[in-house]
Amino acid sequence: MPDNAAYHGNTRGILLVVLYMAVAITPLILASVYGYPYGHVLYDLGRSFALLGFMIIVLQVFLAARIKWIEQPYGFDILIRFHRNMGIFALLLILAHPFLLAAGSGRWALVLGPAVSPVVWLGRITLAVLIASVLLSVYQRSLGLKYEPWRLVHDILSPLIIVGAFVHSFMIGADLNLALMQGIWIASAIAAVSVFVYHRLIRPRILRKHAYRVTEVVPEAPGVWTVKLAPAAGEPLFDYLPGQFQFITFFRNRGLPEEEHHWTISSSPAGRDYVSSTIKALGDFTSTMGQTRVGDRAAVHGGFGRFSYVLYPKERDLVFIAGGIGITPLMSMIRHMQDTRDTRQVLLLYANKDQSGIVFSRELSEIEAGGHPSLRVVHVLGSPGPGWKGETGFVDEEKILRLCGDDLDGKIFYVCGPSGLIDAVLDALTGLGVEDYRIRIEIFSFLD
């Protein structure tokens, strides 16, 4: 397991935010102190927005590049949402840039006029590409765009935006006549492109070279498989915390697709020589998981996320609420508690449509009987088959309160499952007066 101290990152988390802002505003301050003014505040504001927008675009690459020391204090799901928010912010800044220049100088031809220099046209084209990139990201689902083609387009547009913005600003920006600014601009562009190239081209090749091997494929339920992966002989298993997720690219040949997907880890990191993900057939790609064979290879990159009880060792009274295949990170934590002979109290509310959807049923019963952790499993089925005597319906306020013994004080809630279940449970917990800090959720989709 990785050093937990790396994740207890309040200080590092705050420092990284400060560093982010410092990097973003440094060119702006230098240009304002050493550069010459145009003389109209709107014009100068237009320049400021452009400088700030460019630096935010440069920093976008660092946010998305899966750099662990940046990811650990926040979790990848949060970091990628910040990346998305700042992308929208950068677009607004850069969108305002030509309008402010035009308003400040009175030369509105700058915005729409055709008779401008090629460098201005380059700026316009780059802005159009940035608008397209942001809109495709924000409205990916509404547009019916699947993750893989969206990501391909994003990977093509992103470097174009950086290079286009760099060339435009370097050629036309009055502030870029300052030698210091030129140095910062060149260094920023080189750093961004280098990190991008490493993230999208070099690291995938390194991971492929050190590919893991599928050691077992276990059918868990109809359309659900656990795939166990082990590193090549003599190579170490990567560090992860129970509850984290990993990126996997399977190399199975046989005409099966090679796509990178992220899945939560279902295994415990304690004393095991493999890492596993339990995968449900929910789409075109995951429907092929049953065709995965022992000996197939896979590039594995992990672990990411902060959805892990080990980050909060003092919390002893936990309530896990899982919906369907959302059980996997919770199972990883329960298995880890078993492996480490942990005695904390865990109530697992496991929601499924019917009995056929339950995975890990027997193992959960065994752990429950073993006493490590002090686990109580309650299945909640929406449409149970005949003979079911357990809980039915949805995980709502009444069930949560009753099953928790009418006492929610001090309990920490971990919620994982489809978005409908998460939203319903969040509403229920909020309605029951559970404070935000006692609710932990994992957001699987990076684009929602």
Partner 1 sequence: MRRTELRKVTILVIAVLVSIAVFMAIFRGSAGDSRGASAEPGTLVCGENARQSSQVIRVNGSCAGVLLFHHHEKCAAHE
Among 67, 78, 138, 145, binds partner 1 (CB under 8 A): 78
Q: Shortest Cβ distance from residue 445 to partner 1 (Å)?
A: 13
* Pick 38 or 238: Cβ nearer partner 1: 38
Per CB under 8 A, the segment of 49-57, 148-156, 234-242, 387-395 that binds partner 1 is 49-57
Contacts of residue 282, defined as CB under 8 A and 6 or more positions apart, other chains included, come to 325
Contact indicator for 325, 286 with CB cutoff of 8 Å: no
Q: Shortest Cβ distance from residue 128 to partner 1 (Å)?
A: 18
Q: Shortest Cβ distance from residue 109 to partner 1 (Å)?
A: 8
* Dist CA 125 CA 340 (whole Å): 57
Contacts of residue 29, defined as CB under 8 A and 6 or more positions apart, other chains included, come to none
> Can you tell me which residue has the tokens 């999208």?
200
- Other CB atoms within 10 A of residue 405 CB: 9
Kindly identify the residues of this chain, within the stretch 296-315, that bind partner 1 according to CB under 8 A: 306
* Dist CA 9 CA 115 (whole Å): 53
* Residue 135 near partner 1 by CB under 8 A: no
Per CB under 8 A, the segment of 25-33, 214-222, 280-288, 351-359 that binds partner 1 is 25-33
> How many of the chain's residues bind partner 1 (CB under 8 A)?
56
Q: Across the chain, which distance is largest between two alpha carbons, in Å?
A: 81
The token pair that represents 121 in the structure block: 């046209």
* Residue 82 near partner 1 by CB under 8 A: yes
**Secondary structure of residue 34 in the 3-state scheme:** helix
CA-to-CA separations, 155 to 186, 252, 286, in angstroms, rounded = 21, 24, 23
* Residue 81 near partner 1 by CB under 8 A: yes
Among 7, 9, 12, 20, binds partner 1 (CB under 8 A): 20
* Dist CA 212 CA 117 (whole Å): 53
* Residue 41 near partner 1 by CB under 8 A: yes
Among 7, 9, 12, 52, binds partner 1 (CB under 8 A): 52
Per CB under 8 A, the segment of 61-69, 170-178, 207-215, 328-336 that binds partner 1 is 170-178
The token pair that represents 142 in the structure block: 């509404």
CA-based torsion, 445, 358, 227, 328: positive or negative: positive
* Pick 301 or 438: Cβ nearer partner 1: 438
Site residues for partner 1 per CB under 8 A: 17, 20-21, 24-25, 28-29, 31-33, 35-41, 43-45, 47-49, 52, 56, 74-75, 78, 81-82, 85-86, 89, 93, 101, 105, 107, 109-110, 116-117, 119-120, 171-172, 174, 177-179, 306, 436-437, 439-441, 443
